[in-house]
Amino acid sequence: MKIGFFDSGLGGLTIMNAVTKELPQYDYEFYGDTANLPYGDKKEEEIFELTKRGIEHLFAKDCLLIIVACNTASTETLRKLQTEYLQINYPDRRILGVIIPTIEKLLEERIEEAILIGTNRTIESRKYHIELNKYTEAPKLNSIATPSLVPLIETQKYDEAYAQICSIIDSRTTEKGIILGCTHYTTLNAKLSDRYREDNFKIISQDEIIPKKLHEYLNRHPELEKRLGKNSKRNIYLTKHSEIYDKFLADLLGGVFIDD
């Protein structure tokens, strides 16, 4: 069986790619809902239905566990999918999100005050704050919705997206880190981390967090791990194609991945 990744677009591939480097032996299946992107301004019910459709596709492709890499989908649907859908339809499989691992990382870094950027839905849901407030020594989190970033990144206008994030960071007062709370923003992690390393300002990016957290999860769950195929297969399914997407795939993955 495989490890599945769900995202509203291509950004989640950055996370899957990082996971395949940490855990190269497993078989992976990616679902990117490029036909319905962006999710960031959609209503909760629509996000739930679209995410469920992607999850069903991934389970039909023999995924044992699925990572909902999309923060927007994680905030709006994860709990409901886990408690209502999974229990009834696939009780022996798992659906995991990205928000709790990211919060754990923020706590591990011992940052007292941080900025969170994400889509309108992610920020409005206050899901990061709700989860964070379960900890007694929760850091202060100042959130900013950045809805213009996803269209820029999807159309590969990376310089403009990078400049916007830098301007948010440069206007900081007491914050010592930023959570890139959207899969798409992780494509800028390396450049941002380089720029702010000297300032001792931490870029918290899920492509660095999820590989290690998934590794630890599989170590804790040998009953799941032993059911995973170990043939290093990768497959990518997009609900809509374009030349820009093909270029992104070629740049990120060396053009070696196919989709069917």
- Angle formed at CA 113 by CA 150 and CA 126, multiple of 5 degrees: 50
- The three-point CA angle 74-200-130 to 5° equals 25
Smallest separation (angstroms) from ligand DGL to the CB of 169: 19
Which residue's CB is nearer to ligand DGL, number 49 or number 62? Answer: 49
Other CB atoms within 10 A of residue 219 CB: 9
Closest residue to bound ligand DGL by CB: 40
d(CA 99, CA 141): 14
Gap between the Cα atoms of 240 and 234, Å rounded: 19
Nearest to 6 by CA among 96, 111, 133: 96
Specify whether the CB–CB gap between 119 and 72 falls below 8 A.
yes
What is the set of active-site residues? 70, 182
Q: Could you tell me which of 175, 166, 188, 75 has the C-alpha nearest to residue 125?
A: 75
Nearer to ligand DGL, 20 or 71 (CB): 71
Q: Which residue lies nearer to ligand DGL by CB, 160 or 199?
A: 160
**Nearer CB in complex with ligand DGL: 38/101:** 38
Residues in contact with ligand DGL by CB under 6 A are 7-9, 11, 37-40, 70-72, 118-119, 122, 150, 182-184
Smallest distance from the beta carbon of 221 to ligand DGL, in angstroms? 25
Instruction: Please give the Cα distance from 1 to 62 (Å, whole number).
Output: 5
